[in-house]
Amino acid sequence: MASMDGTVVLVTGAASGLGQAVAAGLAREGALVVAVGRSAARAEEAVEGIRRLVPAALLEPLACDLSVQSSIRTAAAEFLSRHDRLDVLVNAAGVFRKERHVTPDGLELTFATNVMAYFLLTNVLLGALKNAAAAGGKSGTAERPAGAARTSRIVNIASRYGNTKLNFDDLQTAKGRYSYLRSTPPTMLARVLLTQEFAERLQGSGVVANAVHPGLVKNTSLLHDVGGPFRWVTNTFGVPAEKAVDTALWLATSTETAGVSGKLWAKRKELPTPGMGSDPDARQRLWNACSRLAGLP
């Protein structure tokens, strides 16, 4: 990985699992890591957990309930009050829920956290990402080392989505019987589509966006609520988070990936995005739906 000295990164889901492993990896390379947790206590736990892995880490906690849009806007405002630039944004938080829950915004919780949070947080931080790209080799008063990345990066943790399709008449799984097997896979497709749309809209800005399929990651809190055979398979055949984050860290730091955007990756190889994942009309329709739900133009 290229040195990240003098860079500012923000990682959601940093209190545990994949998010914490990404945050630790970036901190180990010298980045200032803003670690996002669901509450102030969880954000502090994230910082403490990362520091146990990387004692010399440069860290800032940031509280944000990613299922609530007002919390996202407040957290973004707090970040921007301290930093005018953002070199890397890693959207790693996510949920699986056994039962259907509704957020204070009136949104289904899985869709709100897995899709709307990625969409809204990235949008409200775009100015900082563009500022970092425009600054080129400098971060604040510090010169980046030779060979360091000259682009800003958005890295979205997603998944292979199989034959999943988005039902635009029921994006929030309000109809029929709710289950995480119905609600969650479409959110992974949605992340890929939004990544593609961000990449398209950010052409020429110096900001690139890519999605990552980390595979099965064992012993995380992600599947605590659903349990059952899926959790057993994941914990039995999955890999540790520290190994699963290799491609995400590569996308966030490598000079090889500085000019790559709008792709889905696994094990440092590009994956195909079949079906709706290759449909520009679907990603535009999803973008418009998210814009309406977030109150964005």
Q: Which are the catalytic amino acids? A: 180
Rounded to whole angstroms, the Cα distance separating 17 from 96 reads 14
Question: In this structure, what are the phi and psi dihedrals at residue 208, rounded to the nearest 5 degrees?
Answer: -115, 155
| N- to C-terminal Cα separation, the chain | 38
Q: What is the DSSP string of the chain?
A: ----TT-EEEETTTTSHHHHHHHHHHHHTT-EEEEEESSHHHHHHHHHHHHHH-TT-EEEEEE--TT-HHHHHHHHHHHHHH-S--SEEEE------SS--B-TTS-BHHHIIIIIHHHHHHHHTHHHHHHHHHTTTEETTEEPPTT---SEEEEEE----TT----TT-TT--SS---HHHHHHHHHHHHHHHHHHHHHHTTTTTEEEEEE----B-S-STTTTT-HHHHHHHHHH-B-HHHHTHHHHHHHH-GGGTT--S-EEETTEEEP--GGGG-HHHHHHHHHHHHHHHT--
User: Hey, what are 61's tokens?
Assistant: 């906690």
